[in-house]
């Protein structure tokens, strides 16, 4: 059994022949449905960087975000699809999620160039990443799906490191 549950003893043949089941709960589903648009906005910000950023370290960081979060969106969509679940949340305003940037802030970022872009990008992406770290940490407390727990741990760890890197770049 899971931690805190009674253990069950089964013959190896029973386990080998059993259909794989994925335990998940409503919080797992909510996390995935929220993280897809959250990642999508991070991608939108990162895609602005190549033509606007001044610091080559931030350009590299933006490329890393693009290279990691695009495939992660695919993984999350696949997770939902494998369970016959829709990625949509009717009536939910994703703009109210932790770290999500307003349309006006996104317009300001798109209009900025050079050092101004760098400053806005770091501020906005730091807030955005902090929101994702909190979402991931929340899931780790209540989620049931092992794959999502591993993913949430990865998100929390990698994005915390990226926050530190961005702050270091601006401090130079």
105-145 pLDDT tens trace? 999 999 999 999 999 999 999 999 999 999 999 999 999 99
Packed helices 56-82 and 146-171: angle between N→C axes, nearest 10 degrees: 170
Give me the pLDDT at residue 20, please: 45
**Any idea what the CATH number is for the domain that residue 36 is in?**
1.20.1260.10
pLDDT under 70: residue ranges of the chain: 1-5, 7-22, 92-95, 172
Question: Is residue 133 within 8 Å of residue 155, measured between CB atoms?
Answer: yes
Question: Is residue 29 within 8 Å of residue 84, measured between CB atoms?
Answer: no
Is residue 19 in some structural domain? Answer: no
Domain that holds residue 85: 24-171
Is residue 3 in some structural domain? Answer: no
Domain count, the chain: 1
Q: How far is CA 58 from the centre of its chain?
A: 19
Is residue 164 in some structural domain? Answer: yes
């Amino acid at each position: 059994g899971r931690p805190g549950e009674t253990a069950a003893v089964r013959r190896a043949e029973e386990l080998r022949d059993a259909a794989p089941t994925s335990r998940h709960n409503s919080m797992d589903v909510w996390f995935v449905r929220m993280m897809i648009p959250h990642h999508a906005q991070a991608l939108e910000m990162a895609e602005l960087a190549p033509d606007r950023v001044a610091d080559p370290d931030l350009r590299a960081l933006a490329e890393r975000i693009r290279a990691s979060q695009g495939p992660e969106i695919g993984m999350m969509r696949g997770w939902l699809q494998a369970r016959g679940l829709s990625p949509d949340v009717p009536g939910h305003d994703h703009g109210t999620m932790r770290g999500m940037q307003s349309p006006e802030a996104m317009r300001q970022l798109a209009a900025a160039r050079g050092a101004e872009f760098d400053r806005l990008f770091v501020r906005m992406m730091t807030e955005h990443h902090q929101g994702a770290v909190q979402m991931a940490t929340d899931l780790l407390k209540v989620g049931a799906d092992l794959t999502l727990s591993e993913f949430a741990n990865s998100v929390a760890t990698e994005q915390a490191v990226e926050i530190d890197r961005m702050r270091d770049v601006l401090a130079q």
